[in-house]
Amino acid sequence: MVETLSPVLSERVERLTETLLQEANDAGLMLATAESCTGGLLASLLTDVDGGGHVFDRGFVVYSEHAKCELLGLAQQQIDCCGAVSRDVAVAMAEGALAASDAQVALAITGFAGPGAPGDEPGLVHFACAREGRDIAHREEHFGDIGRGGVRQACLEVALEMMVAAVR
């Protein structure tokens, strides 16, 4: 059971979290996260299950473009060209998290959790999941304008689904 976040999580998110941690443990895999719009919520969730945190290596909260470049090795030109909320940036974030950690599986999230600058689509989120030796999985979701909290919670389910698929 997820301890501190449990009151706000769906039963499905709790089950996926426990499944991910158990299967990663069974496979001898370490996990990492690279989060922008979720602000570390996924990392918090993965360290919230008693006895499961040993498979989590680290999380990168890279909300700013500068942080994405400095901590994950993205090129500013790539962000300028594609936009911080894009498939290319999500993939580069996942690759960067693998390279900068001891993990074998890394999940990246970048998106617009709520209303932002003109032209930003609230609820647009790109996910990328990298596992050593495999192709990187990408998913684009359009959650809609459901509020920052709603988007962040919806991100958890997608991220966990992708990570479970990657550890299998």
pTM confidence score: 0.94
Task: Establish if 125 belongs to a structural domain.
Answer: yes
Supply angle C-alpha 69, 129, 116, rounded to 5.
Answer: 55
Task: Establish if 156 belongs to a structural domain.
Answer: yes
Q: What is the mean pLDDT of the chain?
A: 94
Phi-psi region of 8 (alpha: psi -120 to 50; beta: other; left: phi over 0): alpha
Task: Establish if 105 belongs to a structural domain.
Answer: yes
Does the structure show a pLDDT above 80 at 119? yes
Task: Establish if 38 belongs to a structural domain.
Answer: yes
Q: What is the mean pLDDT of residues 31-36?
A: 98
Task: Establish if 1 belongs to a structural domain.
Answer: no
Task: Establish if 72 belongs to a structural domain.
Answer: yes
Does the structure show a pLDDT above 70 at 157? yes
Residues of the domain holding 13:
6-167
pLDDT for residue 118: 83
Amino acid at residue number 77 = Q
Task: Establish if 136 belongs to a structural domain.
Answer: yes
Question: Is 100 in a helix, a strand, or coil?
Answer: coil
What is the DSSP code (8-state) at residue 131?
A: E
Instruction: Output the domain CATH number for residue 78.
Output: 3.90.950.20
Alpha carbons 49 and 96: distance in angstroms, whole number: 26
pLDDT for residue 17: 96
User: What percentage of residues in the chain have a pLDDT greater than 70?
Assistant: 96
Counting the structural domains of the chain, the total is 1
pLDDT for residue 5: 67
